[in-house]
Structure 1
Amino acid sequence: MSGMKVDGGDGLGDGAGTALAGVPAFVGVGGVVWEPAAGRLHCDATARAVLGLTREECEEHPEALAARVLAQDMPRVFAEARRALDRETSFSLYFRLRHAEGDARWTHAQGRVVRDAEGHLQRVVGVVRDARPDVEARESHTADPTGARHADLVQQLTTALTQAATVEEVTEALVRAGLLGPAAVRSVAVCCEDHGHVLLLSSRGFPAPAVRALRMSRVEDPLPLSEAIRTGRPVFLDHAALLDGYPQLRRLLPPHDRVGYAVLPLTAQGRTFGAVGLASEGGAFPPQLRTVLLALSGTIAQSLQRALLYDRTREMAAGLQTSMLPARLPQTSALTLAARYRPAPFAHEVGGDWYDAVHLSRGRTALVIGDVQGHDVHAAAVMGQLRTALRAYLAEGHSARAALSRAGRFLAELGTDRFATCALAVLDPAADEAEVVRAGHLGPLVRHADGHCAWYPVPGGMPLGPFPEEDSPSTRIPFEAGATMVLCTDGLVESRTADIQVGKTALLRCLQSAPAPLETLADHLLTAVADPAGNADDIALLLAHRAE
């Protein structure tokens, strides 16, 4: 926080007042907004009281805030801040601040990261409060380690596991948030049985040699995780007992370490299908925590089983979608093509987005991109049929307008209730132009050889399917040597949190400053523009570059 301006007056400036306008007001809770680009931290009066800052300190000595965080808490504060900024997520953490009276007070801060339409960090909005009552309540629970404190543990871990959708998120839930109190988990390994082998699903914190050995292990091997899967019995050991009982681990783990280990079988529907290994700081797990872990092992098993189904369903959905897209794109000396596809973020959804490219006569190439309504197997099936039909019409020699018109009638004759949007661009290097036809879809974005970028206002027709007799108009736009064309589905520029025009503007600006190599450009546009937090749709992206 060194060098950061802190606006702390009772009468906050206009900028600060605006920044804090969206922070909810509760008794004892102060609003804080950090604007890194401006180097400012806005605090209301309650926040100043919680943080122990006077108006003069805020205005003249902002470094006082960072200096008051206890040194032993700084690594955790910075680690949580980095995690929130890197993953664009919310945050919640406890830390201690040294106040003017000399006492160190527990403080709780929570908030969220806000980015602009181009993905740049705009501000961090949060609240702070005095957390001493929380700590006092926890300390009162310590006198009864099998009572309320462990009830809190069960509630916290159960809540975290309920929200975990993937195997990685289950692993994260076991590691983070101090779920085991004084015996904080530092390492986790999650595995399942796969035809006699131990399949490592996820691991955190274990040494690389141990992870490599685990990947090559079998259920019959005399190893802790293998035995838990084979016997269905849990094991609790300290470091010395682990090395004595499993001497083959001595070459994989340090000889001396103050670590405790818990190996829990994962059993669901009466069958042990995997195991989880936990390593904790501070030595062996206390008896009370062992009891809690055994009670929670069923919940962990159910969460992992659900996560495995989620991951496998998502993998199948992505595989089905990818199998319906072209395995390779036609490349010529005059034209280079690149494409990307990213599935929707929900495991059960198979999208209807597609792209295609077809060689035509006289050195021309047709680019196709489209989106069938819906996110299910039916949408994918319709997409596959529509893509095949459109390829056939283009191969037969029909014009872009006629091919798209025939595709609309084909979709109507399928008897489905789905409609589709589509854009078709026939690139003609000999004429330095492209013929574009679109049916309810986004038009082309072009970066010309001089660096100028533009969304071309190509007149469009109705989506394919509902209006089979409607034809889409054809428009010719310039596409000279050195130009690059971008076609995409709305998932790239549309978001639940912003208008589509915001996304289109962000894509145009990104293209203006993006790297030139086409494959690199495709990756850059997909990662820099798409909003993973606000986007619930799949994305198809097709790029073409004319050689100079």
Structure 2
Amino acid sequence: MSGMGVEGGSGVGDTAGADVAGVPALVGVGGVVWEPAAGRLCCDPTALAVLGMTREECEEHPESLAARVLAQDMPRLFAEARRVLDRQTDFSLYFRLRHPDDDARWTHAQGRVLRDTDGRVLRVVGVVRDARPDVEARESHAADPTGARHADMVQELTTALTRAATVEEVTEALVRAGLLGPATVKSVAVCCEDHGHVLLLASRGFPAPVVRALRMSRLEDPLPLSEAIRTGRPAFLDDHAALLEGYPQLRRLLPADERVGYAVLPLTAQGRTFGAVGLASEGGGFPPRVRTVLLALSGTIAQSLQRALLYDRTREMAAGLQTSMLPARLPQTPVLTLAARYRPAPFAHEVGGDWYDALPLSGGRTALVIGDVQGHDVHAAAVMGQLRTALRAYLAEGHSARAALSRAGRFLAELGTDRFATCTLAVLDPGADEAEIVRAGHLGPLVRHADGRCAWYPVAGGMPLGIFPGEECPSTRIPFGAGATMVLCTDGLVESRTADIQEGKDALVRVLGAGPVGAGPVGEGALEPLADHLLTAVADPAGNADDIALLVARRAAAPDTD
């Protein structure tokens, strides 16, 4: 609920007269904040109207709200509320509420439960709206077969928007909703205002010329989305001709014979219109009931999009911070080519401690490093940056692989942090057809030899860095001949919530064995495609909760003597 200013710690519940949700009354959606421990319920004016409460009742007698829920709805509502408070984060509830005029009205509430680090409920943040249009549509199913479907789609879309974390997910929810009954959503465009320009965030189904025009449009341009952001007014155009008549500049971008209806919804949160959504439907315009539903949902769409924008921007900043600490370029030699990949964890606020590095050593050797600092936060990333720099310095000074890793462990302990780190250091020596491996609590190397054999080498290892300062890890030498490929990775690539790490390691062996390794000279092989292939074919996006670092090295094949 980032659009409500709650997750950022704005203290919404501290003032009874606070604008709780920042959702304008125009769209009929009101904001509510409930703090169970304090027995405090705060509602904005729209929420008070939806709930049929006065400001005094809300602040001094919040328990009166529960007393007005219809008795037949209480068991279901109580069971659902208990389940949400015990285990869930997001919720979406329908119930009947008796108003002071004795009118029982269907009401819809949705929102999020915010907890402390121990899982205790701090506050419940949500929005409420009059759900009678939903129920009336459902009850009129016999006269209008699309009515019940509208109500179902509203509930499905509301649930999907509550769960959507990114702008792409918000867009997909709108496409999949099928809000238009017999007609279907053909195209969706989602945009926001950006310093006088219209920033296209996502689109589906619109022709390429329209997408290009949207990307280059300004707020003052006479275009539907620009106008909606500028004025804050929705627009419904019953057919293609109406669109072209109102916006003649679109004639050169859209075919003239399409049977399409259009809806343009301004997105308003905290009293400010910051974006707009454009919908195109097959089969003509939008009937009055659908227009009402879309207008009511525009507040929910606005909040979902605002939350998604915050998520995307936070994720981008986290990934940028992490990436800035990794090497900008990898050293390449006439006999050795390298490729690396980094993928952040799938959570916006998390910055990981995974890293990789490579640097040339004397005698034509190359050192490869892969590691992971404990934790997923800015502290882990900072420790990672310091540790990577220290290990790089020890290797550049000419210390052996064992000594360099031992000094790095002592350095980590002396930082005074409570973090430990795992690490594998591989020194590749093409002149000796071998690699020296030193491992500190990390995965060992996976090697594919020129003849196609693939195996994880069971190299000896020591404890993670920082646990026993000064301890030297054992060193193991393994073959690394001409045409061989070595893969070093963090456990995020092969471990997930849905599979055991051994399953992931076995899968990586199979993928490497069949992957596009390449057999030509260095620089002409398929190492970059191989790195992409390993990352996409093995990592499980649904079950992965960790960031991933991957480093791949391939030695040039032996020259053809025939």
TM-score between the two structures when normalised by the length of structure 1: 0.73
Q: Supply the distance in 2 between the matched residues of 1:505 and 1:457 (Cα, whole angstroms).
A: 14
Aligned residue for 1:176, secondary structure, equals: helix
- The residue identity in structure 1 corresponding to 2:216 is M
User: CA offsets per residue over residues 337-376 of structure 1, 9 Å max, x none?
Assistant: 1111111111111111100001111111110000011111
Q: Deviations over 1:217-253 (max 9, x none)?
A: 1000111110000010111112221111111111111
**Is 1:526 paired with 2:535?**
yes
The 1-side partners of 2:148 and 2:424 are apart by 61
Q: 1:146 to 1:288 in 2, by over 3 A?
A: farther
Residue by residue over 1:45-76, the C-alpha shift from the partner in whole angstroms, topping out at 9 and shown as x without a partner, is: xxxxxxxxxxxxxxxxxxxxxxxxxxxxxxxx
Question: Structure 1 residue 177: deviation in Å?
Answer: 3.8
Contact 1:485 1:545 in 2 (8 A): yes
Q: Which amino acid is the alignment partner of residue 513 of structure 1?
A: A
SS at match of 1:152: helix
Structure 2: how far apart are the matches of 1:150 and 1:454?
Answer: 56
Matches within 5 A, 1:370-409: 370-409=371-410
Map of 2:453 onto structure 1: 452
Q: Helix, strand or coil: the match of 2:346?
A: coil
Find the counterpart in structure 1 of residue 159 from structure 2: 159
CA distance in 1, matches of 2:138, 2:228: 33
State the AA in 1 paired with 2:539: A
Any idea what SS the aligned residue of 1:528 has? Answer: helix
The SS at the match of 2:190 is strand
Query: 1 CA distance for matches of 2:453 and 2:139?
Result: 64
Deviation at 1:485, TM superposition (A): 0.9
Q: C-alpha separation between the residues in 2 aligned to 1:503 and 1:221?
A: 53
8 Å CA contact 1:355, 1:541 repeated in 2? yes
Quote the offset at 1:146 in angstroms. Answer: 10
2:472 maps to a residue whose letter is D
Amino acid at match of 2:332: Q
Deviations 1:123-155 (A, max 9, x none): xxxxxxxxxxxxxx9695253689765443321
- Cα RMSD for the two superposed structures: 1.6
The answer on whether the counterparts of 1:510 and 1:528 sit within 8 Å (CA) in structure 2 is: yes
Q: Is the Cα contact below 8 Å between 1:153 and 1:180 reproduced in 2?
A: no
What does 1:417-496 correspond to in 2, within 5 Å? 417-496=418-497
- 8 Å contact from structure 1 (residues 446, 455) kept in 2: yes
Unaligned regions of 5+ residues in structure 2, if any?
A: 1-136, 518-525
Go from structure 1 to structure 2 and tell me whether the alpha carbon gap of 1:231 and 1:177 turns closer, same or farther (over 3 Å shift).
Answer: closer
CA contact (8 A) 2:486 2:553 kept: yes
Q: Spell out, residue by residue over 1:472-517, the C-alpha distance to the aligned partner (whole angstroms, 9 max, x if none).
A: 1111111112111111111111111111111111111111121122
Tell me whether 1:254 sits opposite 2:252 in the alignment. no
Superposition pairs for residues 39-438 of structure 1, below 5 Å?
141=141, 143=143, 150-238=150-238, 239-438=240-439
Query: Structure 1 residue 511 and structure 2 residue 516: aligned?
Result: no
Counterpart CA distance in 2 for 1:186 and 1:484 is: 47
Query: Partners in 1 of 2:155 and 2:476 — Cα distance?
Result: 61
- Asked if the contact 1:493/1:503 (under 8 Å) is kept, the reply is yes
Name the residue aligned to 2:549: 540
What amino acid is the match of 1:201? L
Q: Deviations over 1:90-121 (max 9, x none)?
A: xxxxxxxxxxxxxxxxxxxxxxxxxxxxxxxx
Q: Which moved more, 1:503-512 or 1:417-426?
A: 503-512
Structure 1 pair 483–145 and aligned structure 2 pair: CA distance change class (3 A): closer
Aligned to 1:68: none
AA aligned to 1:281 is E
Which stretches in structure 1 are left out of the alignment for 5+ residues?
A: 1-136
| Deviation digits for residues 192-214 of structure 1 (CA, Å, limit 9, x no counterpart) | 01111111111111111111111
Contact 2:463 2:473 in 1 (8 A): yes
CA contact (8 A) 2:219 2:226 kept: yes
Question: Is the 2:401–2:425 contact (alpha carbons within 8 Å) kept by the matching residues of 1?
Answer: yes
Aligned residues with identical type, % of pairs? 89
Contact persistence 1:161–1:303 (CA under 8 A)? yes
CA distance in 1, matches of 2:177, 2:155: 12
Q: How many residues are treated as equivalent by the alignment?
A: 412
- 1:11-53 CA distances to partner (integer Å, 9 max, x unpaired)? xxxxxxxxxxxxxxxxxxxxxxxxxxxxxxxxxxxxxxxxxxx
> What letter corresponds to residue 289 of structure 2 in structure 1?
Q
TM-score, length-scaled by structure 2? 0.71
Q: How many Å apart are 1:384 and its aligned residue? A: 0.4
SS in 2 for 1:491: helix
Give the Cα–Cα distance (whole angstroms) in 2 for the partners of residues 391 and 228 of structure 1: 55
Letter in 2 for 1:260: G
Q: Is the 8 A contact 1:146 1:288 kept in 2?
A: no
Assess if the C-alpha contact under 8 Å between 1:188 and 1:205 holds in 2: yes
Q: CA shift at 1:157, angstroms?
A: 1.3
